[in-house]
Structures are given as structure tokens and as C-alpha cells.
Amino acid sequence: MADNTSYVLVTGGAGYIGSHTVLELLKEGYSIVVVDNLSNASKGENSLPEPLHRVQKIVGSDKKMIFYEVDLLDKEGLRNIFKKHKIQSVVHLAAKKAVGESVEKPLLYYSVNITGTLNLLNVMKEFKVNNLAFSSSATVYGDPQKLPLDESHPTGEGLTNPYGRSKFTVEMILKDLYDSTKDWNIILLRYFNPIGAHESGRIGEDPCGPPANLVPYAMQVAVGKRDELKVFGDDYDTHDGTGVRDYIHVVDLALGHVAALKKLEENCGLKIYNLGTGQGYSVLDVVKALEKACGKKVKYSIVGRRSGDVAACYSDPSLAEKELGWKSVRDLYKMCEDHWRWQSENPSGYAS
């Protein structure tokens, strides 16, 4: 029997940001098809990958979610999904995302992030699916010329790694695609630094191998999995010498995608939005908040700066509030509290 349900396709939906986004979309009443190659997600022992199995338990079995283990480099596999299901919109999260790894493996990053996206766009075009929310990144701004960063800030200049260049390249592709036909609705969501976890403690960030980001690494120090946190540089021109970033709760970020989908349904054309809090916190600010949340000291040592790091980077998120009706509401302590709940209840991640 034909399935006449309209679905939102979420690529990379079994990952950290993906699982939280799928949860919020299901809560909002959307039916979801998830595509993920599980390269950075836990398979689990169920028909769904473990993060999505837990999402289904949180939202209830009446919410409709279908999962396919398909790589975006497998164009035929993608086509088969579009043949089977009536896809209405796509939330494109699937990408390689570790800055350091991208320097070591540039071809992998360009292949997955650019070629994978081109495959997706070609299949969307073939099946006349013209609504896309793309997971971009604040890295496209390069070294900030002014702060806070708004969407008019120049992009593509001074990009220091293949990860950032891959996100910038995809943005250019999407702008060219829109300019060529004008019948697409495309929203570029420029993420700042997502941390935290769902307040249930059931889903959260479970990096494969050593975490590449500050908070998951510090949390693993707090639970005794790692000896100490390395703080890269304390001689930046910031209030305590350590790098300042805009951290956003992953649930607020997920809700930004719900708002973006609703905007796509208005036939909005091409739009660009920052998803951040507008507040900059230093590495040591975050460490203090983490220590308060977990009730223990997080051992750290100061080491030299990392190549490519900038002193400060934080957003002006006012356009998203004005046009999407979206705003981050969870503060740094809430981010750390929720991340700690996840980490302490799942010390080995989804294998716990």
C-alpha cells in the first residue's frame, strides 16, 4: 500500500545535533525519515540506532519515524528513499565536523561534505523537493572583523581549515542553485557552539574517540575517563586570556530547525540565520560553570595556542528572533547541568 504521509528527511539524524532535532520535530507533529551512515552514531541493538531508539521512547510510539542506514555518497540509495516516501522538506545535517581531522584528511571532508551534498541536491531536484534547511557553521565567517557577528559579515575570507572551507563551499553552491531558478526555498543555519543535552539525560553527545570539543572533553575529565583538559592559550585579548565562544544549548539549536521548517513552508526563498545566544563565554568561564554543575573540580593545564583559533567569536542572533520568532532561552549553567546529567548517567555514552 502506498505511503501518502508527507515526511521531513533529516540527514545525519542519528548524531548529536540530529537526534535532538528529530526529537523536537517529532514533538511538533512532523513525520520523519532519518538517513545516517552511522559513522559517528551508535548502532545499538534495536531496529533504530540507539539515539533514535531513545528518542522514540521519549516522544512515544505514536510519533512516526523511519530510519535508513544510507551514506549520502550512495546516490542510488538516496533515490530509493525518495521513491518510497513523499519527502516534503530536507534538514541536511550530515557532515564530517572535526576541524583538526579536516586538516589531516582534507579529501575525506571535501568528499563527504561537498560531494554528499551535491548527491542530495541532485536527488531533491529529480524528485522536485525544493525545501532545504542546511546545517552551516560560524566558521564561514573566518577571523571576525567585527563582533558580534551578524549575517552581513563577510564570509569565506581567512578560512583556516578544510572543514570551514567545505561549509563555505556548500553555502556558495546553494546560493548559486537558488539564483539559477528561484523556485527553491533554502535556509542556511550558521551554528555557533552547541553543548548540553536533552534534560531527560537519555540522549546527548557521544563522540567516537577523543572528543574534539571543549565541553564533552571536560565532562570526560569530570567522570574520570580522561586525566586533564588542555586549555589552548591564555594570552588572548579577552577578559581572562582564554578564547571566547558563543555556546548554545543543543535543544535551543534543535528548536531553531523547527522554526526554520515553518519558515520554509512560507516559500521564503533564500534566507541566512545565525543560531547562537549572542553571549561570549571564555574557556575558563565554561570550566567554572561545569564545575558548579557537576560539583567537582575539572583538572586542566594551560598549553600553547592552537593554529587557526581566533580570540573571540560570538553571534548577533537578532535576525533569527525577528524573522523566525526563535531565540535561545537556556543559559550556560543550564547547558552544563544538562550535559553533566547526560554524562554522569551515561559515562560510556550510548554503550552505558
* Buried/exposed 241-257: b ≥16 CB within 10 Å, e otherwise: bbbbbbbbbbbbbbbbb
Q: Does residue 86 sit in helix, strand or coil?
A: strand
Q: Which of 30, 141, 163, 314 is catalytic?
A: 163
* Phi, psi dihedral angles at 279 (to 5 degrees): -115, 130
Cα separation, 147 vs 270, whole angstroms: 24
Instruction: Record the cell numbers describing residue 274, joined without a space.
Output: 545565525
Give DSSP secondary structure letters for 96-160.
---HHHHHH-HHHHHIIIIIHHHHHHHHHHHTT--EEEEEEEGGGG-S-SSSSB-TTS--STT--
Cα separation, 162 vs 166, whole angstroms: 6
Is 217 marked active-site? no
Cα separation, 47 vs 56, whole angstroms: 11
Cα separation, 250 vs 131, whole angstroms: 23
The bridge status of strand 244-245 relative to strand 281-282 is: antiparallel
Catalytic residue numbers read 163
